[in-house]
Every structure is written in C-alpha cells, then in structure tokens.
Homo-oligomer: A and B are copies of this chain.
Amino acid sequence: MDNFTYYAPTLFEFGRGSEEKTGMLTFLTGSKRVMIVYGQKYVKTNGHLDRIRMSLEAIGIDVVELGGVQPNPVDTLVYEGIRLGRDRNIDGLLAIGGGSVIDTAKAIAAGIPYKGDFWDFFCGKATVKEALPVGVVLTIPGSGSEGSGNAVITRSESLQKLSLRTDSILRPRFAVLDPELTYTLTAWQTACGIVDMISHILERYFSPTRGVEVTDRLAEGLLMALIDVAPKALADPTDYNARANIEWASTLAHNGLTGCGRLEDWTCHAMEHELSALYGVTHGAGLAVVFPAWMAYMAHHKPSKVAQLGRRVFGVRATDDRSAAIEAVAQFRAFFSAVLRMPLTLKALGVLEPDIDLLVAKLHEDKGSEIGVYYRLTSRDTRQIYELMLDESQRAAIAASAAASAPATA
C-alpha cells in the first residue's frame, strides 16, 4: 500500500426532503451572495430553482443566476460565469444539477479569485490556491463531482477535454443528496450515470499497487451493490431505495475512498474524453464502449486484476487468469447491454465513421506518449483498443479500404 493523505470534508445531507436544508447549509458556508449555476430548463420548470432561490433569500442570501450549462461543459460558460461573478461580487456558488453543472461551478469558483486565465488550472500551468465555496444540490448522480475535488471542462476552440484534480480545495462544502430529485431521470440518463460510477471505481481498481486489500474489497462491494440495484431503478424509476443506493454509490465511487493507497489508472477516461470531445457522445455511454474494450485488451496483456474482478464480483470460476478475465469482460458487456441498454460499439454510440488516427493522435498529444499505470500503453496499444470498439461492419469497411489502398503484391 502506498502512502496517502485523505481529507474529504464535504458535508453530505442525504435523503428525502434534504433539498429544504439548502438555505441553511449555504448560510453555514458564510456566503452572502451566491451564484446559482444550473443546466437544463428542468430545474426551472419543476420548481426546484424557485424553491431553492426562495430558501436562500429567506435567510438573507442574495442570488445571481447562471443557467444553460450543457453536457460536456465548455470553457465559454466558465468565462461568462467568472465575469458575471466578479461584476456582481459573489462570494459563493451553488450548483443545482449533475457533473457538468458542478464542474462549471467549480471552475468559476477557482477562476474568480485568480488573476490569470482559469484554463491554466486545467492545462497544468497553475495550481488552485484559493477558491470560493461551492455547494451542490445533486439532480443527476454519476459524475461523483458532488464529493470530489475534481472538474472536467472542454475547450470549445480545440475540443480539448481536460481534468483538474485537487486534493480538497475544490471539494464542495456541502452536497444535498435527495434521491427523489432523481425520479424524473430517463432510463438513459440513469444508465449513463451508473456506467460513470462503475468507471470511477474501475479506474482506481486497475492499479499496479499491491497489498491494497481493503480498498479492493470496498471497490468490489460498491460494484456488486450497483449491479444489484441498477435493474430495480430502471424497472421502477420511483424505487426510493434503488435510487438512494445509486446516489450514495455515485459519491463514494469518486470521493477518493476507492483510490486510497494506490496508483490509479484513468486510461479509459482519457480515451473516452477524446470521443466526447470529437463526437459529442455522452460520457457514460462512451465509457460503456471504452471500458470493456480496454479490459478485453488487458485479458491478453495483464489479466490478473480483471480476473480477480470477475471472480469476486461476478462469481467467475475459471482458474486461469486469462479465461477468468475474458469471462469477466463478457459479464460486464452483458450487464451494460442487457441491463443498462448501453451501446457496446462506436457504431451503436452513433460514431459511424470514427477517425482512429485522430483519436490516437489527440489522446497522446494530451496525455503523453505512454499512458496508464496498470499497464503502460503506447499509441500502438491504444489504436488496437480503439479498434476493439468497432462494429463488425466498420471493421470490414476499414479492412476493405486498407486493401484497396495497399500496393498490389501478387
């Protein structure tokens, strides 16, 4: 087990009716004028925004609104938020939404007190030393941003989708987790969120660090719980306990707990971010395509941890690691496809003509010539993994095109 510092001081207010405590929780952060950040009209039309706004104003907190956050949130709205926030002299942020909204709020919170360009934090030019307090009312579980110090923003000009990780300065001060707010999520949104959670667990699970039994078991436990409750929430979107377990798993999957004492991989997120940036695919759906492909590649190159996962989570019985890993991948694919109704290929994801050359080039441009810690991948490896995401028909088309352009040798 490696050395680590773990500091996760977010207060979680969990359960039915917890939305009502938003005013008091914001008050306790010391903020007097907050910017409410939100995304779709959903929070407006169903009355969330009005109720929360009123609860803040009732306690003497001024409110500034910033709506319009889109999935795969972009830098332009962050710049707008920073300008607006400085103009109106805000001293705190409240995100009402899912990961895109929370990440936008975090970027604004770090950007307002910073003299330079907030993008410096994302491209690694600067470290966040100061940030306004951020509170969260979660409406879409999945990103785990409600309990993490991380954020992901896309540069609209270059389509670079980059992550910022901080130890604790960008962890929300509080997060209101009311499972009833998630009843109206569609099956697609619910499933994408679950894949995102599973991926947050797996990115940390696939580690070269040995002697991490506690963290491995926590990760496997969260996965088993998600696999158990997911079909219940999809069958009945108002199944409170299923929604509640999913919501809490979202937070625990990404608040650092499943990464304590180990190196973390994060290759699949990097590979998916290229897909999202180039083709605008939904993050969770993209991960459902990327992760099994990466695991399938690992089954042939470093199967040990994939095999352990299969044995412990899916009860796979194969004794040799490669067979167990192959079966684990099949079980994941079956779960993603049959239960979550997720795509398993780029074609099913809507990427009909993927430019694998470009994906590989941008991936290594962003992340360096070798990526991953569980297993180091060069562009030769990542190309093969992207190719594993192709549909049979796409593979045939690519082979035909290659044959046509190859010099005749017979």
Contacts and interface: CB of A to CB of B under 8 A. Distances in A.
A244 interface: yes
A222 B225 CA distance: 14
Interface residues on A, range: 35 or more
Interface string A1-36: 111111111111111111000000000000000000
A229 B334 CA distance: 33
Contact of A222 (B8, B9, B218): B218
Contacts of A159: none
A339 to B, nearest CB: 15
Given A213-B228, A213-B229, A222-B218, A4 B8 contact: no
Interface string A196-212: 00000000000000111
Contact of A14 (B8, B16, B244, B261): B261
A207 B276 CA distance: 43
A249 interface: yes
B15 A7 contact: no
Nearest to A168: B11
A225 B213 contact: yes
A187 interface: no
Contact of A1 (B5, B213, B244): B244
A6 B11 contact: yes
A220 interface: yes
Contact of A221 (B9, B220, B260): B220
Interface centre among A1, A8, A212, A228 (most CB of B within 10 A): A1
Interface string A252-263: 100001001100
A59 interface: no
A50 B257 CA distance: 33
A224 interface: yes
A337 interface: no
A249 B1 contact: no
A8 B257 CA distance: 12
A14 B3 contact: yes
A241 interface: yes
A379 interface: no
Contacts of A1: 15, 179, 240-241, 244-245, 248
Interface centre among A15, A212, A218, A221 (most CB of B within 10 A): A221
A213 B244 CA distance: 10
Interface string A69-95: 000000000000000000000000000
Query: Which 8 pairs show the lowest CB-CB distances between chains A and B?
Result: A211-B241, A3-B15, A217-B221, A221-B221, A9-B9, A7-B11, A1-B244, A213-B225
Interface of A: 1-18, 179, 210-222, 224-225, 228-229, 240-242, 244-245, 248-249, 252, 257, 260-261
8 contacts: A1-B15, A2-B15, A6-B12, A15-B261, A211-B240, A214-B249, A218-B221, A248-B261
